[in-house]
Structure 1
Amino acid sequence: MITRNLLFLFAALFCFIACSEANTSDRMQLTGSDALAQEEDTVGLPSAVFAGGCFWCTEAYFERLKGVKAVISGYSGGKEKKPTYRQVSSGLSDHAEAVQVYYNPSQITYQELLEVFFATHDPTTLNRQGPDVGKQYRSIVFYKTPEEKKQAEAYIKQLEEAGTYKNKIVTHVQPLDKFWIAEEYHQDYYRRNPQDPYVVSVARPKVRKFEDNYRSKLKREYIE
């Protein structure tokens, strides 16, 4: 009787753990970036979504800025639900690699985020950023409000009138439909994978140049 009761107890415990893990997975799938944002204590903060090439680089830029609480890598711009990196990176979906930036507006403004976004990638190349080629690397400002749309379009016009770029800006300004969080191993990829060949040869030179150019806007821990 004791042995049977112990077996029953172990079986019940196993089911409880399995169900808990399944429920956690379901919550992450359903709530996506919002679930991760809550873990990062960003509840109540506004967020901005941008696509500007490989999200490993884009994430590294924004997370260094004072006033930015969290940056989450993911996918947006397509119709496919729950896209995977394999689908997006191979061009089998209409999504672009994107980042969701949670920020404190009393420390950094949406306009400043726009300025950093356009300064850290080439908005004149269609479906390409450096060695990364494909529609998944297209340049997009995803807006949530009419005011964000107005600001993005006004800034693009300002850049074009100033002749900032030799070629025409091809950045899309489109409403945010859904932001899908990327797989866990993509989060904070630059910091966690310093020896990755792409990080060493492509991302690191860009990030270091960014740190030199935006030193006054960097968080203390990123100032050498």
Structure 2
Amino acid sequence: MVLVLDADEIVKQFDRNSILEFCNCSDNQSKVGRLKKVNEYEHSYGKRRYIERISRLFNKNSFCYSGTIHEQVVRKNKINYDTSNIDITIDHIGYFREVLKRTNKIYRNILMLKEELIKDQKDPYINYQLGKSYFLEKNYKKAVLYFKRSILSVDNFNYEYAEDLVESYGYALLNLNKFSETVIIEKYKRYYLSSLEYNFILALIYMNNSKSQQVVKTFLHCTEFKDSIKEVG
């Protein structure tokens, strides 16, 4: 088994026994372990912090990475595989303003992603990552273009990146003052209604569309979540 971490990720918490249990179980040789990744970055509506599960622990004899940038774990025999959550939490610091400024990471990513997109213009994940790169650059017009392309091509909104795609699309529209267009985000309630981050942006959308009753109801719903993942300033 190998555990993969990027240079801009820091392990914040782990349970050694549960990790060993996953690694030593023969049934898990064909599974991929998914750790918890905490991402934080700044935008016009404050600091945004979102949590995702990503595939990082696997048997290197059965799995490998595919893709030029933001690679995905795939099975070498191309067969679908199961995943299991593991007790590792990491902080991703690669989106911090000073890191992006120092490494010129956004510009590099955009060039590589556009090269990758030539292979398949409708690839939802590559379009999402391009939108994300422009979002971090605060080029919201281009971010909306690629987020929209991505969201129209996604065939499963349970994918690891799909919730952030929907929410980032909403924030990009808000930053462009396209308030009437932001109501499309409400369409994804059935997938993310149990997410604090989704409810928060939904409340912002209601507020900017003068839907007073929904604003109060949704913000109150946000207070019911145990852990706050939103900081606005």
TM-score (norm 2): 0.25
Q: Which is bigger in relative contact order (C-alpha 8 A, separation at least 6)?
A: 1
So what's the TM-score if we normalise by structure 1?
A: 0.25
The structure that has the greater radius of gyration is 1
